[in-house]
Structure 1
Amino acid sequence: MVHTPIHASWTNQIEIFFSIVQRKVVQPNDFMDLTEVRDRLRPFEDRYNATAQPFQWKFTTSDLDDLLARLDRHTLTDRHQESSVSLAA
């Protein structure tokens, strides 16, 4: 199994953009045909491209190090508890 990164992944950028589109453009979802969808999306796309700013990520490499250390401690605790339970059984 391969675990893909959950932070700093390019898919996060896509998910954020589609979330914005969903909230600001396609709600309510009451389109009669695809032409109406296009007519609502095009002006939003033009405005978004003209005003978009990079997202300011707050998750740093030191945050990642802290998270990994907490996960390691948690994993070690779980393994210790599992071995204690199996010895008691």
Structure 2
Amino acid sequence: MHLTPTSSSWINQVKRFFALLTDKKIKRGVYHSVAALRADIASFIERHNADPNPFRWIQIRR
């Protein structure tokens, strides 16, 4: 069994991508079917992948 800490950087990147998807697509849309939702998510991913940029990590100093 392999346990990955919740603070590992790749999990944070995945969580950030889904937060971006939620904020920019899902919250703003009205979907009358699952097929419409899936099509909108697929179009978001295609546009996002057309011009990929890595997430930039910054260190917050307190």
TM normalised by structure 1 equals 0.53
Partner of residue 39, structure 1: 39
Q: Which structure has the larger Rg?
A: 1
Q: For residues 14 and 52 of structure 2, what CA distance do their matches in structure 1 show?
A: 14
Partner of residue 15, structure 1: 15
Q: CA deviation at 1:5?
A: 5.5
TM superposition outliers: structure 1 runs of 4+ over 2 Å: none
What number of residue pairs does the alignment pair up? 58
Q: For residues 22 and 9 of structure 2, what CA distance do their matches in structure 1 show?
A: 20
1:21 to 1:50, Cα distance in 2 relative to 1, 3 A: same
Structure 1 gaps, min length 5: 64-89
Q: For residues 26 and 48 of structure 1, what CA distance do their matches in structure 2 show?
A: 15
Q: Which amino acid aligns with 1:38?
A: R
Larger relative contact order (Cα-Cα within 8 Å, sequence gap ≥ 6): 2
Partner of residue 87, structure 1: none
1:58 to 1:39, Cα distance in 2 relative to 1, 3 A: same
1:36 to 1:5, Cα distance in 2 relative to 1, 3 A: closer
Structure 2 gaps, min length 5: none
Higher helix share: 1
